[in-house]
Amino acid sequence: MNVTTPDSTSDLYASFVLGNYGTPACTLTRGEGVYVWDSEGRRLLDFGAGIAVTSIGHCHPHWVKAVQEQAATLVHCSNLYRHPGQGRLAQRLCGYAGPGKVLLCNSGAEANEAMLKLARLHGRAKTGEEGKCFKVLTAEKAFHGRTFGAMAATPQEKIQGGFRPMLDGFAHGVFNDLASFEALVDDSVAAILVEAIQGESGVNPATVEFLQGLRALCDKHGLLLMMDEVQCGIGRTGRFFGFEEAGIVPDAFSMAKGLGGGIPIGAVWMRDAHAPLFKPGSHGTTYGGNPLVCAAANAVLDVIESEDLLAQVTAQSKGWIKRLQELERKFPALVEEVRGRGYMVGVALKVDPMPVIQTLREKGMLAIPTGGQVIRLLPPLTATVEDLDRSVELLADALSNHLQA
Residues tagged in the binding site annotation for pyridoxal 5'-phosphate: 108-109, 143, 228-231, 286
Instruction: Give the C-alpha separation, 295 to 55, whole Å.
Output: 15
Question: CB of 76 within 8 A of CB of 255?
Answer: no
Instruction: Give the C-alpha separation, 235 to 343, whole Å.
Output: 9
Residue 171: φ, ψ to 5°: -140, 160
Residue 261, CA atoms < 13 Å, CB-side half-sphere:
30
Catalytic entry in 46, 170, 210, 257: 257
Catalytic (active site) residue 143: yes
Catalytic entry in 228, 240, 253, 387: 228
Give one word for 347, left, alpha or beta, with left for phi > 0 and alpha for psi -120 to 50.
beta
Count other Cβ atoms within 10 Å, centred on residue 299.
Answer: 24
Residues tagged in the binding site annotation: 108-109, 143, 146, 228-231, 285-286
Instruction: Give the C-alpha separation, 383 to 365, whole Å.
Output: 13
Catalytic entry in 47, 134, 143, 243: 143
Catalytic (active site) residue 257: yes
What are the angstrom distances between the C-alpha of 7 and each of 18, 38, 152? 19, 11, 40
Catalytic (active site) residue 170: no
Residues tagged in the binding site annotation for N(2)-acetyl-L-ornithine: 146, 285
Residue 210, CA atoms < 13 Å, CB-side half-sphere:
21
Instruction: Give the C-alpha separation, 119 to 197, whole Å.
Output: 21
Instruction: Point out the residues that are catalytic.
Output: 143, 228, 257
